[in-house]
A and B are shown apart, each in its own frame.
Chain A
């Protein structure tokens, strides 16, 4: 599980995260929502050690993640970034294999076990048939799946996703989130436990349908955290997004549905 405690981060004098605390249990999907600039991406980057942290701690089962060197930390959490500007000349297979980096020596020598893990990761995201294709030739949805496979190959108990559906069309948005939910709820390929998944999303209804819990961020702070029904209320969302919304029960799914209100 992932425990974020009182995290504060600034870019120079501009504070982007203020006293953020959040827990993500194994086996659950926590969606991070909020308007642009709320700090969702910054939280993902801070937790994964990419930007320096002013105050606060991030730990998992007693291990202080931010105190670890990057190679050690990369064995605990993996990040699925947005599929923008990927090096086009690598093949899918080469890309996914790079996910094994935290376990390889500096020469990058790969064992048959590593290759098996990479292969299973590709199967998991249903992209094994793309293995020999060059990344530059793939569609956005395919690239995003490749990045998910790479993160899975990293064999970590914690998975962070930074707005993975922003550039995907409807079909890929749904299939991607279903895969993510399955990964959290059922045994992953390493068999060491269920994944703890924290996914930053801009689409509120995707969050409503696929997340177990939702955390709403505004201006660097967590304004509310709880089940989708608890957080996706018209008061909270309207205040956060400066737009009147109406929340209604989803017609056929067990989730709330957020709609911009008529004036």
Chain B
């Protein structure tokens, strides 16, 4: 299929339009257009507020989150040369969850800083976990990928157990913790977008620049070194960028699975394994996919809103199986 970038960007635009136009309250498309172009809507009510302060910022947040997860997932799969890798492989999710639950057990004052406590703790927790895994896995000057995976599994198990323990002992924070973990956007407005934007730009920017290094890394550490790549440094920078993007993604949106795992595979099936193309495509594709999942989450059981994490899990897995069966390619990985 030609023009993959154009098609993927088109899909993203369509998904964004759906996300702005559709919600649990029906707003006629004409009014949506009027609000977006600054004219007053025909319909009496809160159409302008809903679109400008709810749907537009939420679309932006979900878009950025999906982009971060898609690109990090591709990067993790490349660094670890493992098709099962996803952005949470070395502890980001469990660290974020532990940080968030710890923060929820404190009564923060109702101030700007206090309200940011839980997402900030999640962000710091994610990065701290990855850093700890990195330290545990280091052998001299190298950081073997096997060690990273083992340390990641161990730390994740520990952090998750600790989180579960804290949740059981909590006095009513249980519901709030579960809701956050499942991936909900309780936060609304432009605040969350502005807060995570610098970290996301840093992380995504770093990832987009590492396509060539990832290509070289696919041949294994030895050959990569023999071809002239400074392997340890390249791997560290890539993991740092990916973890930064992932931490920013989970801070406000909780743990959303499957996007980071499946979107890179879909893009690889479609267009091959060159990471210089795969990374930007996974970014755009991840954004589009998460937007679609979020729209589904909002309408499928209206007026209830499902957490996005549930939709991605329920919809993502069967969809991926269907795609795999259609793909006649065997050597796509």
Contacts and interface: CB of A to CB of B under 8 A. Distances in A.
B331 A88 contact: yes
A70 B224 CA distance: 9
B225 interface: yes
B209 A102 contact: no
A11 interface: no
A48 interface: yes
B222 A101 contact: no
Contacts of A86: 219
A89 interface: yes
Contact of A73 (B215, B221, B228, B330): B228
Interface in B218-252: 218-223, 225-231
Given A87-B273, A90-B273, A136-B330, A99 B225 contact: no
Interface stretch (A30-38, A74-82, A177-185, A248-256): A74-82
Given A98-B215, A107-B211, A136-B330, A79 B230 contact: no
A203 interface: no
Contacts of A101: 212, 216, 227-229
Interface string A42-75: 0001001110000000000000000001111111
A70 B229 contact: yes
Interface in B198-215: 209-213, 215
Nearest to A102: B228
Residue of B216, B222, B226, B272 most packed against chain A (CB within 10 A): B226
A161 to B, nearest CB: 12
A154 B268 CA distance: 27
A12 B228 CA distance: 25
B274 A90 contact: yes
Contacts, number: 89
Contact of B223 (A49, A69, A81): A81
Nearest to B275: A108
A134 B215 contact: no
Interface size class of A (residues with CB under 8 A): 35 or more
B212 A48 contact: no
B223 A90 contact: no
B227 A154 contact: yes
A137 interface: yes
B332 A108 contact: no
Contact of A71 (B209, B210, B219, B228): B228
Contact of B212 (A75, A91, A104): A104
Nearest to B220: A85
Contact of B222 (A50, A90, A150): A50
Interface residues of B, number: 30
Main secondary structure of the interface of B (DSSP, over half): loop
B108 interface: no
A121 to B, nearest CB: 14
A89 B268 contact: yes
Residue of A48, A106, A135, A136 most packed against chain B (CB within 10 A): A106
Residue of A48, A88, A154 most packed against chain B (CB within 10 A): A88
A192 B297 CA distance: 64
Contacts of B227: 74, 78, 98-99, 101-102, 150, 154
B212 A134 contact: no
B215 A89 contact: no
Interface string A116-137: 0000000000000000001111
B2 to A, nearest CB: 16
A90 B276 CA distance: 12
A69 B230 contact: yes
A150 B230 CA distance: 18
A94 interface: yes
Nearest to A73: B228
A136 B331 contact: yes
Nearest to B274: A94
B216 A87 contact: no
Contacts of A88: 331, 333
Contacts of A72: 228
A108 B209 CA distance: 9
A107 to B, nearest CB: 6
A78 B120 CA distance: 47
Given A90-B272, A99-B227, 15 more contacts: A48-B225, A74-B227, A79-B223, A79-B226, A81-B226, A87-B81, A87-B218, A89-B272, A89-B273, A98-B216, A102-B228, A106-B213, A107-B212, A150-B227, A154-B227
Interface of A: 45, 48-50, 69-75, 78-79, 81, 85-91, 94, 98-99, 101-102, 104, 106-108, 134-137, 150, 154
Interface of B: 81, 209-213, 215-216, 218-223, 225-231, 268, 272-274, 276, 330-333
7 closest A-B pairs by beta carbon, nearest first, are A108-B212, A136-B331, A74-B228, A89-B273, A102-B228, A88-B331, A71-B228
29 contacts: A48-B226, A50-B221, A50-B222, A50-B225, A69-B230, A70-B225, A70-B231, A71-B229, A71-B230, A74-B227, A74-B228, A78-B227, A79-B223, A81-B222, A81-B223, A81-B226, A87-B218, A87-B333, A88-B331, A89-B272, A89-B273, A90-B272, A90-B273, A94-B274, A98-B216, A102-B227, A108-B211, A134-B331, A136-B330
